[in-house]
Every structure is written in C-alpha cells, then in structure tokens.
C-alpha cells in the first residue's frame, strides 16, 4: 500500500516506514503531522475520489529540522560591470511515515520500537565514530611507520656512504705509503747528482781562479811596455819643444 501526498507545493510517493524530506513544517521534533493524500493504492484497489480521499489521511512523525545543500545564485549583466554572487540553503524537515489510513484514524505507534530505533541510531553513530578513530589511528601508525622507514633508509645510506669513504681512504693510504717508499730511492738518486753538480761547480770555480791568477802574472810583463810607450811619448814631446825653441840659423853669405 502506498500513497501520494501533497505538502509545500510538491507531491511525494510514500509508504509505511519511509523517510522523506519536505519543505519546512512548523512542528517540533517528535511531533506528529497529518499529510493530505492525493492518491492511494492498496493492491488492486485504487482510490482517487475526492470524497473518499477527504477522509483518508497519512500520518508522519517529525525527525529533525535542518538545512539543505547550498545553492549558488549568480547574476551577470553584460557590458555593465554587474556581477552578484549569493548562496542559499533551504530549510527542510525530515519525516518518517507512520502509516496510511482510509478512515482517518491514527495508527498506533509502539514506543518500544521508537526507542529501539533511537538506540540503533545511537549505536550506528558510535560505530561510525569508533571506525573513524580506528582509521585515524591507522593512518597515524602508517605515517609513523613511513617516517621510521625513511629515517632508517637515510641512516643506512649515511652508513653506506661512510663505509665507502673509509674504503676509499684505506685504498688511498697504501698508495701514499708506496709513494713514500719510493721517495727515498729518488732522494738517493738525486744526492749523487747534487754531489756531481757541486764537484763540477768547484772545478769550474778552480779553473776560473787559475785563469785569474794567470792573467795577474801576465800583467807585470805588460806594464813595462806601457811605461816605455809613455816614456817614448814624453821623448817625442821633448824633441818637439827643443826644435821649436832653437831658432833657425840663416846661412851666411
């Protein structure tokens, strides 16, 4: 059995124990509401007569008053610089259909059933909260595990790099030792060379000193020659002066 009811300028197809959302009704939660029936179908019998429908009624209980989803209103006028943006949330009422009556008598609603439904709703909400907490804890654990894994990976990389550096240093040290072992041989080879160069320098120095001594010995022989030449020049000058002083004798006739 189902019916079509009219409320808030809209029609809804309802049956017993259905939950619908309608335009706001000024009724407090847990209040009972009577809705106008437009059409009733019960198996093969269909009721559309206005007189029969005038007696029939649909009873519902208000569950809550709430606001619907936000609707965006945007206005624009071209070439006028006019823009307007607004939002709207319609106020609604959630109903639970208690029953459909052709006689207009309100059906008996068991309070125990209502309490059980309330308990079920509470338990569902609690389960959802616990599930969310569990998910949050899992995500936190996963995050911590990921952070620990990253830190371990970084530490392993650092350790590997340190081991590589140590290996490289160990490889370089023997090479340095080999080079140090080779240096004494090179020094031993260089020392005779230095000695040879020193002996050569000494020999060249001795030769130069000998040449200088020979030149000094030869100089005394040259000095008299220089003196003779100077004396010769003085004699020439003396003869010139004597010839100039003596007057020429004129021959006698």
**Per-residue pLDDT averaged across 150-154, rounded?**
84
Residue 17: pLDDT over 80: yes
Q: Which two tokens stand for residue 165?
A: 């550096």
Residue 152 binned pLDDT confidence (cut-offs 50, 70, 90): confident
Q: What is the pLDDT of residue 91?
A: 96
Distance, in Å, from the CA atom of 73 to the CA atom of 88, rounded to the nearest integer, reads 8
Residue 154 binned pLDDT confidence (cut-offs 50, 70, 90): confident
Residue 122 binned pLDDT confidence (cut-offs 50, 70, 90): confident
Q: What is the pLDDT of residue 149?
A: 83
> 53 vs 163, which has greater pLDDT?
53
Contact 97, 57 (CB under 8 A): no
Q: Whats the size of the chain, residue-wise?
A: 253
Residue in the structure block whose two tokens are 């309802």: 14
> 234 vs 94, which has greater pLDDT?
94
pTM: 0.43
Residue in the structure block whose two tokens are 């071209």: 78
Q: What is the pLDDT of residue 192?
A: 60
């Amino acid at each position: 059995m189902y019916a079509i009811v009219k409320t808030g300028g809209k029609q809804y197809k309802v049956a017993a124990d259905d939950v619908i959302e309608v335009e706001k009704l000024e009724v407090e939660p847990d209040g009972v509401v009577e809705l106008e029936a437009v059409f009733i179908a019960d198996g093969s019998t269909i009721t559309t007569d206005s007189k029969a429908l005038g007696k029939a009624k649909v009873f519902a209980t208000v569950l809550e008053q709430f606001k619907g989803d936000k609707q965006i209103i945007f206005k624009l006028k071209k070439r006028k610089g006019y823009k307007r943006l607004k939002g709207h949330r319609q106020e609604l009422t959630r109903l639970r259909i208690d029953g459909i009556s052709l006689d207009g008598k309100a059906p008996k609603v068991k309070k125990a059933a209502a309490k059980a439904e309330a308990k079920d709703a509470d338990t569902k909400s609690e389960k959802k909260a616990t599930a969310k907490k569990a998910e949050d804890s899992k995500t936190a654990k996963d995050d911590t595990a990921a952070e620990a894994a990253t830190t371990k990976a970084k530490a392993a990389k650092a350790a590997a790099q340190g081991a590589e550096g140590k290996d490289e240093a160990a490889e370089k040290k023997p090479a340095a030792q080999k080079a140090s072992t080779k240096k004494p041989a090179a020094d031993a080879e260089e020392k005779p060379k230095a000695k040879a160069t020193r002996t050569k320098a000494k020999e060249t120095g001795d030769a130069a000193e000998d040449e200088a001594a020979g030149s000094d010995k030869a100089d005394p022989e040259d000095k008299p020659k220089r003196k003779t030449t100077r004396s010769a020049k003085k004699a020439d000058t003396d003869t010139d002066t004597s010839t100039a002083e003596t007057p020429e004798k004129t021959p006698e006739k």
